[in-house]
Amino acid sequence: MPGLFIERHGISATPHCDISVLYVHSDEHQKKPVYMFADNTDEPLNTIRIYYTRASTGIKPLDVLINTCRFVKSHRKGIREVRKRYGKVDIIHVHVLTRHGVIALWEKIRKGIPFVITEHWTRYLPSTNTFKGAFRKWMTRLVAKHASAIMPVTANLRDAMIDCGLNNNNYIVIPNVVNIDMFAPEPEKKQGEKVKIIHVSCFDDQQKNISGITRVIKRLSDERQDFTVDMIGEGIHYSELVDYGAKLGVKDTFATYYGLKENEALASLMKAADFMIMFSRYENLPVVILECYACGVPVISTDVGGIREHMNDTLGFLIPSEDEDILYTSLNSMLDNYRNYDALKIREYAVKHFSNEVIGKQIFEVYTSVSKS
């Protein structure tokens, strides 16, 4: 699930160029230091997966050294396999720094292959302050300096990366992509007895503040009973947040917890929603907001990260982070006024900004400029 937005970037560019994906990951269940290729012919992109045994000697510095060596060796094997199966590599596209960027930099030094970077991570944002460690900072800055282009998903993330010293003369903001065919308005949407609100996230309460949403649902339910909230997703705090909903008496009455839903199942729930809520403490640009736009669904979100770059009066509105009083007032207002939003205008914005055609063309233009430089 965490890699879906990366896969979608790749898919968007496939009408213009041949893309192969190399995915390397440790596997703690393997008992011997085996490098295992995994194939899946059903995937939409040419994909090579390599799993290596995770070291567990009990001596942390030694484990780090061994795992780093196996990580590098796996990538070398994988790149050779890509060349063997699919031919010459013209450009390497790195998603998420830093380790993969080091691999790409080494290939540039060895083979002269240019590389570009797409970054999604919130660690550079001042609100998270997790870009730490002298060696990591030095290495990340070195990789960023030698990239042919850096493509953060928001201008907010671009500015945060520059503030962290990740200097590059070719920053190009390219947002996440949405499957606008799958995520589309319901042609004949039926109004239910109750207004249907949706929240979709990874259920990390530190970031998404779902406990705050739950308290506001409880408060709102004491005043009115004309709504339900679909809580969709799974993550590190899922069980305790479901228990918290039960404790406050909103579980299965005003809040329904679905767990993880993907693709058509998620799209179906979004299409049925009347509006969406996000109460995050920090973000870049959540794909789920863009998917709701594609479904013609307005959004209430906190004003964090790059969300304001794609929010206007026709799409919904922003509220301060952490302010449960304003979230309560906003939900009350939206429950009474959500019908005033034009689903087709919301949908139109998504198509113009996040469709495969639009994003794929932008990515390919970067590839073309890099290959000519």
Name the DSSP letter for residue 55. P
pLDDT score recorded for residue 31: 66
Residue 187 lies in a domain: no
pLDDT at residue 339 greater than cutoff 60: yes
Residue 189 lies in a domain: no
Between the alpha carbon of residue 5 and those of residues 153, 181, 237, the distances in Å are: 11, 16, 22
Asked whether 102 and 139 are in contact (CB, 8 A), the reply is: yes
**Tens of pLDDT along 70-129?**
999 999 999 999 999 999 999 999 998 999 999 999 999 999 999 999 998 889 998 888
The sheet that has 35-38: what strands, in order across it?
20-27, 46-53, 35-38
CATH code of the domain containing 13: 3.40.50.2000
Measured distance CA(266)–CA(233) in Å, rounded: 10
Name the DSSP letter for residue 124. G
Q: Which domain holds residue 203?
A: 195-353
**Tens of pLDDT along 143-174?**
999 999 999 999 999 999 999 999 999 999 99
Measured distance CA(291)–CA(296) in Å, rounded: 9
Residue 152 lies in a domain: yes
Residue 185 lies in a domain: no
Residue 250 lies in a domain: yes
Tell whether 25 and 153 lie within a shared domain.
yes
Six-digit token pair at 73? Answer: 């060796």
Residue 186 lies in a domain: no
Asked whether 235 and 204 are in contact (CB, 8 A), the reply is: yes
Tell whether 171 and 228 lie within a shared domain.
no
Asked whether 363 and 12 are in contact (CB, 8 A), the reply is: yes
The partner residues of 301 in beta bridges, in order of sequence, read 278, 318
Which of residues 53 and 41 earns the better pLDDT score?
53
Six-digit token pair at 158? Answer: 């671009």
Which residue from 255, 295, 249 is spatially nearest to 272, judged by alpha carbons?
295
Between the alpha carbon of residue 120 and those of residues 278, 309, 311, 350, the distances in Å are: 18, 15, 19, 19
Asked whether 5 and 356 are in contact (CB, 8 A), the reply is: no
Tell whether 202 and 327 lie within a shared domain.
yes
Tell whether 218 and 289 lie within a shared domain.
yes
Q: What is the mean pLDDT of the chain?
A: 93
Measured distance CA(79)–CA(89) in Å, rounded: 9
Tell whether 263 and 166 lie within a shared domain.
no
Domain count, the chain: 2
Six-digit token pair at 364? Answer: 């390919």
Evaluate if pTM is beyond 0.85.
yes
Tell whether 210 and 146 lie within a shared domain.
no
Tell whether 162 and 206 lie within a shared domain.
no
Residue 91 lies in a domain: yes
Tell whether 157 and 211 lie within a shared domain.
no
Tell whether 361 and 331 lie within a shared domain.
no
Tell whether 114 and 226 lie within a shared domain.
no
**Tens of pLDDT along 209-233?**
999 999 999 999 999 999 999 999 9
Measured distance CA(85)–CA(82) in Å, rounded: 5
pLDDT at residue 34 greater than cutoff 70: no
Percent of the chain as helix, strand, coil, to the nearest 5: 45, 15, 40
Amino acid present at 236: I
Tell whether 331 and 368 lie within a shared domain.
no
Tell whether 141 and 214 lie within a shared domain.
no
Between the alpha carbon of residue 78 and those of residues 6, 65, 67, 82, the distances in Å are: 18, 20, 16, 6
Assign residue 351 a region (left: φ > 0; alpha: ψ between -120 and 50; beta: otherwise): alpha
**Tens of pLDDT along 321-335?**
999 999 999 999 999
Residue 337 lies in a domain: yes
